[in-house]
Structure 1
Protein backbone atom coordinates (compact mmCIF):
# COMPACT_ATOMS: atom_id res chain seq x y z
CA UNK A 1 0.00 0.00 0.00
CA UNK A 2 1.42 3.30 -1.03
CA UNK A 3 2.00 5.74 1.86
CA UNK A 4 0.54 9.16 1.38
CA UNK A 5 3.18 11.82 0.96
CA UNK A 6 3.12 14.60 3.57
CA UNK A 7 1.24 17.77 2.72
CA UNK A 8 4.15 20.21 2.87
CA UNK A 9 1.92 23.23 2.27
CA UNK A 10 -0.21 22.35 5.30
CA UNK A 11 2.88 21.77 7.43
CA UNK A 12 4.39 25.02 6.31
CA UNK A 13 1.19 26.94 7.08
CA UNK A 14 1.01 25.42 10.56
CA UNK A 15 4.65 26.43 11.12
CA UNK A 16 3.92 29.98 10.00
CA UNK A 17 0.92 30.15 12.32
CA UNK A 18 3.03 28.88 15.22
CA UNK A 19 5.75 31.46 14.59
CA UNK A 20 3.19 34.23 14.26
CA UNK A 21 1.56 33.16 17.53
CA UNK A 22 4.87 33.11 19.38
CA UNK A 23 5.82 36.46 17.92
CA UNK A 24 2.53 37.93 19.09
CA UNK A 25 3.07 36.50 22.57
CA UNK A 26 6.56 37.99 22.64
CA UNK A 27 5.32 41.46 21.67
CA UNK A 28 2.49 41.33 24.18
CA UNK A 29 4.86 40.27 26.97
CA UNK A 30 7.37 43.12 26.50
CA UNK A 31 6.84 45.70 29.26
CA UNK A 32 9.79 48.05 28.84
CA UNK A 33 8.67 49.26 25.42
CA UNK A 34 5.29 50.32 24.09
CA UNK A 35 4.92 48.25 20.90
CA UNK A 36 1.68 48.56 18.93
CA UNK A 37 0.27 48.83 15.45
CA UNK A 38 -1.52 51.72 13.76
CA UNK A 39 -3.75 51.41 10.74
CA UNK A 40 -3.08 53.54 7.68
CA UNK A 41 -5.15 56.38 9.17
CA UNK A 42 -3.20 56.41 12.44
CA UNK A 43 -5.71 54.60 14.64
CA UNK A 44 -4.41 52.15 17.24
CA UNK A 45 -4.88 48.56 16.01
CA UNK A 46 -3.00 46.60 18.71
CA UNK A 47 -1.70 47.25 22.23
CA UNK A 48 0.90 45.41 24.32
CA UNK A 49 1.57 45.35 28.08
CA UNK A 50 4.46 47.80 27.70
CA UNK A 51 2.16 50.30 26.03
CA UNK A 52 -0.38 49.88 28.81
CA UNK A 53 2.28 50.39 31.48
CA UNK A 54 3.89 53.41 29.80
CA UNK A 55 0.82 55.16 28.42
CA UNK A 56 -1.73 54.15 31.06
CA UNK A 57 -4.48 52.99 28.69
CA UNK A 58 -5.98 49.51 28.68
CA UNK A 59 -6.56 47.91 25.24
CA UNK A 60 -10.34 48.53 25.47
CA UNK A 61 -9.72 52.23 26.12
CA UNK A 62 -7.33 52.90 23.24
CA UNK A 63 -7.75 50.41 20.38
CA UNK A 64 -9.55 52.19 17.55
CA UNK A 65 -8.59 55.67 18.83
CA UNK A 66 -6.23 57.96 16.93
CA UNK A 67 -2.66 57.96 18.20
CA UNK A 68 -2.54 61.78 18.24
CA UNK A 69 -3.97 61.68 21.76
CA UNK A 70 -0.45 60.73 22.93
CA UNK A 71 0.89 64.11 21.79
CA UNK A 72 0.86 67.48 23.52
CA UNK A 73 -1.55 70.23 22.50
CA UNK A 74 1.38 72.15 21.03
CA UNK A 75 2.41 69.22 18.82
CA UNK A 76 -1.18 68.60 17.73
CA UNK A 77 -1.62 72.26 16.80
CA UNK A 78 1.59 72.05 14.77
CA UNK A 79 0.36 68.93 12.96
CA UNK A 80 3.23 66.80 14.22
CA UNK A 81 1.40 63.40 14.36
CA UNK A 82 0.33 63.63 10.72
CA UNK A 83 3.79 64.80 9.69
CA UNK A 84 5.45 61.81 11.35
CA UNK A 85 3.12 59.35 9.62
CA UNK A 86 3.67 61.04 6.28
CA UNK A 87 7.45 60.89 6.73
CA UNK A 88 7.31 57.22 7.76
CA UNK A 89 5.12 56.37 4.76
CA UNK A 90 7.51 58.21 2.41
CA UNK A 91 10.87 57.16 3.87
CA UNK A 92 9.82 53.84 5.43
CA UNK A 93 10.85 54.88 8.96
CA UNK A 94 10.99 57.95 11.18
CA UNK A 95 12.46 58.48 14.65
CA UNK A 96 11.48 61.25 17.03
CA UNK A 97 12.11 62.24 20.64
CA UNK A 98 9.98 64.58 22.70
CA UNK A 99 7.23 65.02 25.26
CA UNK A 100 4.23 62.68 25.12
CA UNK A 101 1.04 62.59 27.20
CA UNK A 102 -0.19 59.70 29.34
CA UNK A 103 -3.80 58.87 30.11
CA UNK A 104 -3.64 60.84 33.39
CA UNK A 105 -2.33 63.85 31.38
CA UNK A 106 1.13 63.61 32.93
CA UNK A 107 4.02 63.93 30.52
CA UNK A 108 6.85 61.58 29.65
CA UNK A 109 9.92 62.11 27.53
CA UNK A 110 9.80 59.41 24.87
CA UNK A 111 11.93 58.03 22.06
CA UNK A 112 9.59 56.95 19.26
CA UNK A 113 10.25 54.90 16.12
CA UNK A 114 7.48 54.60 13.52
CA UNK A 115 7.95 52.10 10.70
CA UNK A 116 5.63 51.82 7.69
CA UNK A 117 4.20 48.36 6.96
CA UNK A 118 3.37 47.47 3.33
CA UNK A 119 1.85 44.39 1.74
CA UNK A 120 3.45 42.37 -1.06
CA UNK A 121 2.05 44.77 -3.64
CA UNK A 122 3.55 47.78 -1.84
CA UNK A 123 0.27 49.14 -0.54
CA UNK A 124 0.42 50.78 2.89
CA UNK A 125 -1.21 48.60 5.54
CA UNK A 126 -0.33 50.70 8.57
CA UNK A 127 2.52 51.46 10.92
CA UNK A 128 4.48 49.73 13.66
CA UNK A 129 5.21 52.09 16.55
CA UNK A 130 7.79 51.50 19.29
CA UNK A 131 7.99 53.94 22.21
CA UNK A 132 10.58 53.96 24.97
CA UNK A 133 10.11 55.99 28.16
CA UNK A 134 13.21 58.19 28.53
CA UNK A 135 11.86 60.44 31.28
CA UNK A 136 14.43 59.46 33.91
CA UNK A 137 17.31 59.95 31.49
CA UNK A 138 15.90 63.34 30.55
CA UNK A 139 15.64 64.33 34.20
CA UNK A 140 19.24 63.28 34.81
CA UNK A 141 20.34 65.31 31.81
CA UNK A 142 18.36 68.30 33.07
CA UNK A 143 19.98 67.93 36.49
CA UNK A 144 23.42 67.76 34.89
CA UNK A 145 22.68 70.86 32.85
CA UNK A 146 21.34 72.65 35.91
CA UNK A 147 24.41 71.66 37.91
CA UNK A 148 26.70 72.86 35.12
CA UNK A 149 24.79 76.14 34.89
CA UNK A 150 24.95 76.55 38.66
CA UNK A 151 28.71 75.96 38.58
CA UNK A 152 29.08 78.66 35.94
CA UNK A 153 26.97 81.04 38.01
CA UNK A 154 29.04 80.34 41.10
CA UNK A 155 32.25 80.83 39.16
CA UNK A 156 30.96 84.12 37.76
CA UNK A 157 29.94 85.20 41.26
CA UNK A 158 33.37 84.31 42.66
CA UNK A 159 35.05 86.28 39.87
CA UNK A 160 32.78 89.26 40.54
CA UNK A 161 33.45 89.06 44.28
CA UNK A 162 37.16 88.93 43.56
CA UNK A 163 36.86 92.05 41.41
CA UNK A 164 34.84 93.91 44.06
CA UNK A 165 37.24 92.85 46.80
CA UNK A 166 40.19 94.09 44.78
CA UNK A 167 38.51 97.44 44.10
CA UNK A 168 37.59 97.82 47.77
CA UNK A 169 41.15 97.12 48.81
CA UNK A 170 42.97 99.05 46.10
CA UNK A 171 40.59 101.94 45.48
CA UNK A 172 38.53 102.59 48.60
CA UNK A 173 41.36 101.44 50.87
CA UNK A 174 43.78 103.93 49.29
CA UNK A 175 41.22 106.71 49.57
CA UNK A 176 40.73 106.03 53.27
CA UNK A 177 44.50 106.01 53.77
CA UNK A 178 44.85 109.29 51.87
CA UNK A 179 42.02 110.84 53.90
CA UNK A 180 43.68 109.79 57.14
CA UNK A 181 47.01 111.27 56.02
CA UNK A 182 45.30 114.52 55.06
CA UNK A 183 43.50 114.63 58.41
CA UNK A 184 46.81 114.06 60.24
CA UNK A 185 48.39 116.89 58.24
CA UNK A 186 45.56 119.27 59.15
CA UNK A 187 45.85 118.24 62.79
CA UNK A 188 49.54 119.12 62.75
CA UNK A 189 48.87 122.49 61.09
CA UNK A 190 46.06 123.34 63.52
CA UNK A 191 48.21 122.37 66.48
CA UNK A 192 50.76 125.04 65.45
CA UNK A 193 48.14 127.78 65.88
CA UNK A 194 46.84 126.65 69.26
CA UNK A 195 48.37 126.98 72.67
CA UNK A 196 49.00 123.98 74.84
CA UNK A 197 45.55 124.42 76.43
CA UNK A 198 43.85 124.81 73.04
CA UNK A 199 45.37 121.66 71.62
CA UNK A 200 43.18 119.61 73.93
CA UNK A 201 40.23 120.75 71.81
CA UNK A 202 41.60 118.81 68.84
CA UNK A 203 40.21 115.57 70.30
CA UNK A 204 37.41 115.48 67.72
CA UNK A 205 40.04 115.35 64.96
CA UNK A 206 41.66 112.38 66.64
CA UNK A 207 38.23 110.73 66.97
CA UNK A 208 37.80 111.14 63.22
CA UNK A 209 41.14 109.44 62.70
CA UNK A 210 40.04 106.57 64.93
CA UNK A 211 36.81 106.27 62.94
CA UNK A 212 38.81 106.13 59.73
CA UNK A 213 40.93 103.34 61.22
CA UNK A 214 37.76 101.43 62.13
CA UNK A 215 36.37 102.05 58.66
CA UNK A 216 39.56 100.72 57.07
CA UNK A 217 39.41 97.61 59.30
CA UNK A 218 35.78 96.95 58.33
CA UNK A 219 36.57 97.50 54.68
CA UNK A 220 39.42 94.99 54.80
CA UNK A 221 37.19 92.45 56.58
CA UNK A 222 34.39 92.87 54.01
CA UNK A 223 36.86 92.57 51.14
CA UNK A 224 38.39 89.46 52.68
CA UNK A 225 34.96 87.88 53.18
CA UNK A 226 34.20 88.50 49.52
CA UNK A 227 37.48 86.95 48.40
CA UNK A 228 40.29 86.24 50.87
CA UNK A 229 43.59 87.33 49.31
CA UNK A 230 45.42 84.65 51.28
CA UNK A 231 43.51 81.97 49.39
CA UNK A 232 44.94 83.17 46.10
CA UNK A 233 48.37 84.05 47.42
CA UNK A 234 49.15 81.41 50.07
CA UNK A 235 46.60 78.64 49.60
CA UNK A 236 43.74 77.07 51.53
CA UNK A 237 45.63 76.30 54.76
CA UNK A 238 46.71 79.90 55.31
CA UNK A 239 43.25 81.20 54.38
CA UNK A 240 41.60 78.86 56.90
CA UNK A 241 43.97 79.92 59.66
CA UNK A 242 43.14 83.54 58.94
CA UNK A 243 39.39 82.84 58.86
CA UNK A 244 39.33 80.82 62.08
CA UNK A 245 41.39 83.44 63.92
CA UNK A 246 38.94 86.11 62.83
CA UNK A 247 36.02 83.91 63.91
CA UNK A 248 37.50 83.47 67.38
CA UNK A 249 38.09 87.21 67.76
CA UNK A 250 34.60 88.13 66.57
CA UNK A 251 32.52 85.50 68.40
CA UNK A 252 34.77 84.28 71.19
CA UNK A 253 34.43 80.62 70.12
CA UNK A 254 37.75 78.75 69.78
CA UNK A 255 38.28 76.88 66.52
CA UNK A 256 40.69 73.96 66.40
CA UNK A 257 41.90 73.45 62.84
CA UNK A 258 43.77 70.22 62.08
CA UNK A 259 45.21 69.85 58.59
CA UNK A 260 46.95 66.73 57.36
CA UNK A 261 50.70 67.15 56.98
CA UNK A 262 50.40 65.86 53.43
CA UNK A 263 50.78 68.88 51.19
CA UNK A 264 48.02 68.80 48.58
CA UNK A 265 47.96 71.38 45.84
CA UNK A 266 44.26 72.07 45.27
CA UNK A 267 42.86 73.56 42.11
CA UNK A 268 41.06 76.91 42.28
CA UNK A 269 37.54 75.44 42.25
CA UNK A 270 38.29 72.96 45.04
CA UNK A 271 40.05 75.55 47.22
CA UNK A 272 37.26 78.14 47.04
CA UNK A 273 34.54 75.48 47.37
CA UNK A 274 36.02 73.97 50.54
CA UNK A 275 36.72 77.44 51.91
CA UNK A 276 33.09 78.52 51.32
CA UNK A 277 31.73 75.34 52.92
CA UNK A 278 33.76 75.96 56.07
CA UNK A 279 32.84 79.64 56.03
CA UNK A 280 29.12 78.84 55.81
CA UNK A 281 29.41 76.19 58.52
CA UNK A 282 31.09 78.64 60.90
CA UNK A 283 28.42 81.24 60.10
CA UNK A 284 25.75 78.72 61.12
CA UNK A 285 27.66 77.96 64.32
CA UNK A 286 27.78 81.66 65.19
CA UNK A 287 24.06 82.10 64.52
CA UNK A 288 22.52 78.99 66.01
CA UNK A 289 24.86 76.55 67.75
CA UNK A 290 25.72 78.30 71.05
CA UNK A 291 28.90 76.22 70.92
CA UNK A 292 31.94 76.38 73.16
CA UNK A 293 34.35 74.99 70.58
CA UNK A 294 34.54 74.07 66.90
CA UNK A 295 36.79 71.48 65.27
CA UNK A 296 37.77 71.64 61.59
CA UNK A 297 39.68 68.69 60.13
CA UNK A 298 41.15 68.34 56.64
CA UNK A 299 42.77 65.07 55.61
CA UNK A 300 43.35 62.85 52.60
CA UNK A 301 43.80 59.21 51.78
CA UNK A 302 44.77 57.49 48.54
CA UNK A 303 41.46 58.26 46.86
CA UNK A 304 39.57 61.01 48.69
CA UNK A 305 39.92 64.39 50.32
CA UNK A 306 38.02 64.59 53.64
CA UNK A 307 36.56 67.59 55.42
CA UNK A 308 34.85 67.51 58.81
CA UNK A 309 33.41 70.39 60.83
CA UNK A 310 32.12 69.59 64.31
CA UNK A 311 30.74 71.87 67.02
CA UNK A 312 29.74 71.01 70.59
CA UNK A 313 26.64 73.20 70.54
CA UNK A 314 22.94 72.54 71.02
CA UNK A 315 22.62 70.55 67.81
CA UNK A 316 19.64 70.42 65.51
CA UNK A 317 16.13 69.71 66.77
CA UNK A 318 14.63 66.34 65.90
CA UNK A 319 12.08 67.90 63.55
CA UNK A 320 13.57 71.24 62.53
CA UNK A 321 11.17 73.74 61.03
CA UNK A 322 12.23 75.23 57.67
CA UNK A 323 14.28 78.35 58.14
CA UNK A 324 14.94 81.23 55.81
CA UNK A 325 18.67 80.43 55.88
CA UNK A 326 18.27 76.77 54.87
CA UNK A 327 19.80 77.67 51.53
CA UNK A 328 23.17 77.70 53.31
CA UNK A 329 23.12 73.91 53.68
CA UNK A 330 21.86 73.51 50.12
CA UNK A 331 24.71 75.69 48.92
CA UNK A 332 27.26 73.59 50.80
CA UNK A 333 25.88 70.38 49.31
CA UNK A 334 25.89 71.89 45.84
CA UNK A 335 29.50 73.02 46.10
CA UNK A 336 30.64 69.58 47.21
CA UNK A 337 28.49 67.92 44.53
CA UNK A 338 30.20 70.01 41.87
CA UNK A 339 33.47 68.45 43.01
CA UNK A 340 31.97 64.99 42.55
CA UNK A 341 31.68 64.46 46.30
CA UNK A 342 29.02 64.00 48.96
CA UNK A 343 28.19 66.03 52.06
CA UNK A 344 26.32 64.75 55.10
CA UNK A 345 25.02 66.42 58.26
CA UNK A 346 24.70 64.48 61.52
CA UNK A 347 23.30 65.90 64.72
CA UNK A 348 21.99 64.82 68.10
CA UNK A 349 20.09 67.46 70.09
CA UNK A 350 22.38 68.79 72.80
CA UNK A 351 25.48 67.17 71.33
CA UNK A 352 26.36 69.43 68.43
CA UNK A 353 26.45 69.11 64.65
CA UNK A 354 28.95 67.30 62.47
CA UNK A 355 29.29 68.16 58.80
CA UNK A 356 31.31 65.68 56.75
CA UNK A 357 32.36 66.00 53.13
CA UNK A 358 34.28 63.59 50.91
CA UNK A 359 35.48 64.41 47.41
CA UNK A 360 37.63 62.41 44.96
CA UNK A 361 41.26 63.45 44.83
CA UNK A 362 41.13 63.50 41.05
CA UNK A 363 38.61 66.36 41.21
CA UNK A 364 40.49 68.59 43.66
CA UNK A 365 44.16 68.36 42.77
CA UNK A 366 45.88 70.65 40.31
CA UNK A 367 46.48 68.80 37.06
CA UNK A 368 50.13 68.12 36.42
CA UNK A 369 51.63 70.26 33.72
CA UNK A 370 53.12 68.43 30.71
Structure 2
Protein backbone atom coordinates (compact mmCIF):
# COMPACT_ATOMS: atom_id res chain seq x y z
CA UNK A 1 0.00 0.00 0.00
CA UNK A 2 1.56 3.28 -1.11
CA UNK A 3 1.27 6.54 0.74
CA UNK A 4 0.82 9.92 -0.82
CA UNK A 5 3.37 12.67 -0.19
CA UNK A 6 2.22 15.44 2.14
CA UNK A 7 0.49 18.38 0.50
CA UNK A 8 2.82 21.25 -0.33
CA UNK A 9 1.26 23.34 2.40
CA UNK A 10 2.44 20.83 5.03
CA UNK A 11 6.14 20.96 4.07
CA UNK A 12 7.01 24.09 6.09
CA UNK A 13 5.43 22.53 9.15
CA UNK A 14 7.49 19.37 8.69
CA UNK A 15 10.64 21.44 8.22
CA UNK A 16 9.93 23.44 11.36
CA UNK A 17 9.27 20.24 13.28
CA UNK A 18 12.63 18.83 12.13
CA UNK A 19 14.41 22.03 13.09
CA UNK A 20 12.69 21.97 16.46
CA UNK A 21 13.81 18.38 17.05
CA UNK A 22 17.40 19.27 16.19
CA UNK A 23 17.30 22.18 18.63
CA UNK A 24 15.90 19.88 21.31
CA UNK A 25 18.71 17.38 20.73
CA UNK A 26 21.37 20.11 20.93
CA UNK A 27 19.85 21.44 24.14
CA UNK A 28 19.72 17.94 25.62
CA UNK A 29 23.37 17.28 24.68
CA UNK A 30 24.37 20.58 26.21
CA UNK A 31 22.49 19.85 29.41
CA UNK A 32 23.92 16.33 29.70
CA UNK A 33 27.44 17.68 29.15
CA UNK A 34 26.92 20.19 31.96
CA UNK A 35 25.76 17.43 34.28
CA UNK A 36 28.71 15.24 33.30
CA UNK A 37 31.11 18.09 34.08
CA UNK A 38 29.58 18.46 37.53
CA UNK A 39 29.90 14.74 38.22
CA UNK A 40 33.54 14.72 37.09
CA UNK A 41 34.22 17.71 39.30
CA UNK A 42 32.63 16.03 42.33
CA UNK A 43 34.47 12.75 41.71
CA UNK A 44 37.81 14.55 41.42
CA UNK A 45 37.15 16.28 44.74
CA UNK A 46 36.27 12.97 46.39
CA UNK A 47 39.50 11.43 45.13
CA UNK A 48 41.41 14.40 46.53
CA UNK A 49 39.63 14.62 49.88
CA UNK A 50 39.34 10.91 50.62
CA UNK A 51 41.95 8.82 48.80
CA UNK A 52 44.50 11.62 48.54
CA UNK A 53 44.43 12.51 52.23
CA UNK A 54 44.52 8.82 53.23
CA UNK A 55 47.59 8.17 51.07
CA UNK A 56 49.35 11.19 52.55
CA UNK A 57 48.58 9.97 56.08
CA UNK A 58 49.89 6.48 55.23
CA UNK A 59 53.11 8.00 53.94
CA UNK A 60 53.61 9.87 57.20
CA UNK A 61 52.89 6.73 59.27
CA UNK A 62 55.32 4.72 57.19
CA UNK A 63 58.05 7.31 57.74
CA UNK A 64 57.50 7.10 61.51
CA UNK A 65 57.56 3.32 61.46
CA UNK A 66 60.73 3.29 59.38
CA UNK A 67 62.50 5.37 62.03
CA UNK A 68 61.68 2.69 64.62
CA UNK A 69 62.80 -0.28 62.52
CA UNK A 70 65.98 -2.17 63.41
CA UNK A 71 68.81 -1.23 61.09
CA UNK A 72 68.44 -4.45 59.11
CA UNK A 73 68.89 -4.02 55.39
CA UNK A 74 66.04 -6.36 54.44
CA UNK A 75 63.57 -4.38 56.56
CA UNK A 76 64.86 -1.07 55.23
CA UNK A 77 64.56 -2.33 51.65
CA UNK A 78 60.98 -3.45 52.29
CA UNK A 79 60.16 -0.04 53.78
CA UNK A 80 61.64 1.68 50.72
CA UNK A 81 59.55 -0.53 48.44
CA UNK A 82 56.40 0.37 50.38
CA UNK A 83 57.24 4.08 50.13
CA UNK A 84 57.77 3.78 46.37
CA UNK A 85 54.43 1.99 46.01
CA UNK A 86 52.64 4.69 47.99
CA UNK A 87 54.28 7.43 45.90
CA UNK A 88 53.11 5.69 42.72
CA UNK A 89 49.55 5.46 44.06
CA UNK A 90 49.59 9.15 45.02
CA UNK A 91 50.92 10.11 41.57
CA UNK A 92 48.27 7.99 39.83
CA UNK A 93 45.55 9.48 41.99
CA UNK A 94 46.67 13.02 41.14
CA UNK A 95 46.77 12.16 37.45
CA UNK A 96 43.23 10.77 37.65
CA UNK A 97 42.07 13.94 39.37
CA UNK A 98 43.59 16.12 36.66
CA UNK A 99 42.02 14.02 33.91
CA UNK A 100 38.61 14.27 35.55
CA UNK A 101 38.79 17.96 36.42
CA UNK A 102 41.47 20.62 36.21
CA UNK A 103 41.11 22.32 39.58
CA UNK A 104 43.46 25.08 38.44
CA UNK A 105 40.35 26.61 36.89
CA UNK A 106 38.87 27.27 40.32
CA UNK A 107 41.99 27.94 42.39
CA UNK A 108 44.36 29.65 39.93
CA UNK A 109 42.12 30.84 37.07
CA UNK A 110 41.75 30.17 33.38
CA UNK A 111 45.14 31.59 32.38
CA UNK A 112 47.01 29.23 34.71
CA UNK A 113 44.94 26.22 33.62
CA UNK A 114 45.54 26.88 29.91
CA UNK A 115 49.25 27.52 30.50
CA UNK A 116 49.55 24.23 32.39
CA UNK A 117 47.85 22.21 29.63
CA UNK A 118 49.98 23.79 26.94
CA UNK A 119 53.21 23.22 28.90
CA UNK A 120 52.34 19.53 29.23
CA UNK A 121 51.53 19.41 25.50
CA UNK A 122 54.97 20.84 24.62
CA UNK A 123 56.74 18.39 26.90
CA UNK A 124 54.86 15.32 25.65
CA UNK A 125 54.92 16.04 21.91
CA UNK A 126 57.92 18.31 21.36
CA UNK A 127 56.02 20.80 19.20
CA UNK A 128 56.37 24.56 19.19
CA UNK A 129 53.30 25.75 21.10
CA UNK A 130 52.75 29.48 21.53
CA UNK A 131 50.20 31.07 23.84
CA UNK A 132 48.57 34.49 23.67
CA UNK A 133 46.36 35.57 26.59
CA UNK A 134 44.61 38.80 27.53
CA UNK A 135 46.46 40.99 29.99
CA UNK A 136 43.69 40.54 32.55
CA UNK A 137 42.78 37.09 33.84
CA UNK A 138 39.02 37.54 33.84
CA UNK A 139 36.64 35.40 35.85
CA UNK A 140 34.11 33.26 33.96
CA UNK A 141 31.27 31.01 35.07
CA UNK A 142 32.59 27.52 35.70
CA UNK A 143 30.52 26.15 32.79
CA UNK A 144 32.25 28.52 30.37
CA UNK A 145 35.71 27.87 31.82
CA UNK A 146 35.17 24.12 31.55
CA UNK A 147 34.06 24.42 27.93
CA UNK A 148 37.03 26.63 27.05
CA UNK A 149 39.34 23.97 28.49
CA UNK A 150 37.49 21.17 26.68
CA UNK A 151 37.78 23.02 23.36
CA UNK A 152 41.49 23.58 23.97
CA UNK A 153 42.08 19.90 24.70
CA UNK A 154 40.01 18.78 21.69
CA UNK A 155 41.90 21.16 19.43
CA UNK A 156 45.27 19.90 20.67
CA UNK A 157 44.15 16.28 20.29
CA UNK A 158 43.18 16.97 16.68
CA UNK A 159 46.61 18.48 16.02
CA UNK A 160 48.35 15.32 17.20
CA UNK A 161 45.92 12.88 15.58
CA UNK A 162 45.43 14.49 12.17
CA UNK A 163 47.46 17.60 11.44
CA UNK A 164 51.12 16.48 11.15
CA UNK A 165 51.92 19.96 12.39
CA UNK A 166 55.13 21.36 13.85
CA UNK A 167 53.65 24.53 15.38
CA UNK A 168 50.51 25.35 17.34
CA UNK A 169 49.10 28.70 18.43
CA UNK A 170 46.55 29.06 21.22
CA UNK A 171 44.93 32.49 21.34
CA UNK A 172 42.41 33.79 23.85
CA UNK A 173 40.69 37.12 23.21
CA UNK A 174 38.19 38.88 25.47
CA UNK A 175 36.60 42.15 24.40
CA UNK A 176 34.28 42.37 27.38
CA UNK A 177 31.25 41.16 25.41
CA UNK A 178 32.53 37.75 24.40
CA UNK A 179 35.52 35.47 24.89
CA UNK A 180 37.10 33.65 21.94
CA UNK A 181 39.51 30.72 22.05
CA UNK A 182 41.37 29.73 18.87
CA UNK A 183 43.61 26.69 18.41
CA UNK A 184 45.43 26.85 15.08
CA UNK A 185 48.22 24.79 13.58
CA UNK A 186 50.47 24.79 10.50
CA UNK A 187 49.75 21.21 9.50
CA UNK A 188 48.07 19.58 6.54
CA UNK A 189 44.59 20.12 7.89
CA UNK A 190 42.35 17.42 9.28
CA UNK A 191 40.72 16.69 5.91
CA UNK A 192 37.27 15.25 5.28
CA UNK A 193 37.93 11.71 6.56
CA UNK A 194 39.87 12.83 9.59
CA UNK A 195 37.18 15.41 10.33
CA UNK A 196 34.61 12.62 10.33
CA UNK A 197 36.64 10.72 12.93
CA UNK A 198 36.89 13.83 15.12
CA UNK A 199 33.30 14.78 14.36
CA UNK A 200 31.69 13.36 17.48
CA UNK A 201 33.94 15.27 19.81
CA UNK A 202 33.44 18.49 17.85
CA UNK A 203 29.67 18.01 17.67
CA UNK A 204 29.49 17.53 21.43
CA UNK A 205 31.46 20.76 21.90
CA UNK A 206 29.22 22.54 19.41
CA UNK A 207 26.16 21.42 21.38
CA UNK A 208 27.69 22.69 24.62
CA UNK A 209 28.63 26.00 23.02
CA UNK A 210 25.13 26.43 21.59
CA UNK A 211 23.63 25.63 25.00
CA UNK A 212 25.67 28.50 26.49
CA UNK A 213 24.70 30.89 23.68
CA UNK A 214 27.96 30.56 21.77
CA UNK A 215 29.40 28.72 18.79
CA UNK A 216 32.26 26.43 17.84
CA UNK A 217 33.64 25.78 14.38
CA UNK A 218 36.55 23.89 12.84
CA UNK A 219 37.75 25.09 9.46
CA UNK A 220 40.71 25.31 7.15
CA UNK A 221 43.05 28.22 7.79
CA UNK A 222 42.06 31.35 5.83
CA UNK A 223 43.93 32.91 2.89
CA UNK A 224 45.22 29.52 1.66
CA UNK A 225 47.44 29.17 4.71
CA UNK A 226 48.26 25.64 5.90
CA UNK A 227 46.56 24.10 8.86
CA UNK A 228 43.25 24.07 10.71
CA UNK A 229 41.59 26.52 13.06
CA UNK A 230 39.25 25.47 15.86
CA UNK A 231 37.44 28.51 17.28
CA UNK A 232 35.10 28.74 20.25
CA UNK A 233 33.13 31.92 20.93
CA UNK A 234 31.11 32.43 24.11
CA UNK A 235 29.17 35.47 25.31
CA UNK A 236 30.22 37.09 28.56
CA UNK A 237 26.99 36.17 30.30
CA UNK A 238 25.65 33.92 33.02
CA UNK A 239 25.08 30.21 32.34
CA UNK A 240 21.55 28.92 31.74
CA UNK A 241 19.33 29.13 34.79
CA UNK A 242 19.37 26.07 36.97
CA UNK A 243 22.70 24.75 35.68
CA UNK A 244 25.11 26.42 38.06
CA UNK A 245 27.23 23.92 39.97
CA UNK A 246 26.08 23.04 43.48
Given the two structures, how large is their TM-score scaled by the length of structure 2?
0.79
2:214–2:233 contact (8 Å) kept in structure 1:
yes
| 1:284-304, Cα deviation, whole Å (9 max, x unpaired) | 334444433321101133644
Q: State the SS of the aligned residue for 1:164.
A: helix
In 2 relative to 1, CA 249–210 (structure 1 residues): closer, same or farther, beyond 3 Å? Answer: farther
Q: State the SS of the aligned residue for 1:326.
A: helix
Q: Give 1:234-253 correspondences, 5 Å limit.
A: 234-253=108-127
In 2 relative to 1, CA 209–158 (structure 1 residues): closer, same or farther, beyond 3 Å? Answer: same
2:55–2:86 contact (8 Å) kept in structure 1:
yes
Counterpart of 1:309 in structure 2 is 183
| 1:233-290, Cα deviation, whole Å (9 max, x unpaired) | 2322222122222333333334322112255432222111111111222233344444
In 2 relative to 1, CA 254–185 (structure 1 residues): closer, same or farther, beyond 3 Å? Answer: farther
Q: Distance in 1 between matches of 2:14 and 2:225?
A: 44
Could you list the runs of 5+ residues in structure 2 that have no partner in the other structure? 240-246
| 1:28-57, Cα deviation, whole Å (9 max, x unpaired) | xxxxxxxxxxxxxxxxxxxxxxxxxxxxxx
Structure with bigger RCO (C-alpha 8 Å, 6+ apart): 2
| 1:52-100, Cα deviation, whole Å (9 max, x unpaired) | xxxxxxxxxxxxxxxxxxxxxxxxxxxxxxxxxxxxxxxxxxxxxxxxx
Whose helix fraction is larger, Structure 1's or Structure 2's? Answer: 2
Q: Give 1:83-122 correspondences, 5 Å limit.
A: 103-104=4-5
In 2 relative to 1, CA 320–146 (structure 1 residues): closer, same or farther, beyond 3 Å? Answer: closer
Q: Is the deviation greater in 286-295 or in 226-235?
A: 286-295
Q: Distance in 2 between matches of 1:172 and 1:288?
A: 37
Counterpart of 2:89 in structure 1 is 215
Q: Distance in 2 between matches of 1:248 and 1:331?
A: 26
Could you list the runs of 5+ residues in structure 1 that have no partner in the other structure? 1-100, 111-129, 365-370
User: Which one has a bigger Cα radius of gyration?
Assistant: 1
Tell whether 2:216 aligns with 1:343: yes
2:158–2:190 contact (8 Å) kept in structure 1:
no
State the Cα distance separating 1:135 from its structure 2 match: 1.5
In 2 relative to 1, CA 210–306 (structure 1 residues): closer, same or farther, beyond 3 Å? Answer: same
In 2 relative to 1, CA 351–150 (structure 1 residues): closer, same or farther, beyond 3 Å? Answer: same
Q: Distance in 2 between matches of 1:302 and 1:235?
A: 17
In 2 relative to 1, CA 262–174 (structure 1 residues): closer, same or farther, beyond 3 Å? Answer: closer
Q: State the SS of the aligned residue for 2:131.
A: strand
Given the two structures, how large is their TM-score scaled by the length of structure 1?
0.55
2:189–2:226 contact (8 Å) kept in structure 1:
yes
In 2 relative to 1, CA 284–321 (structure 1 residues): closer, same or farther, beyond 3 Å? Answer: closer
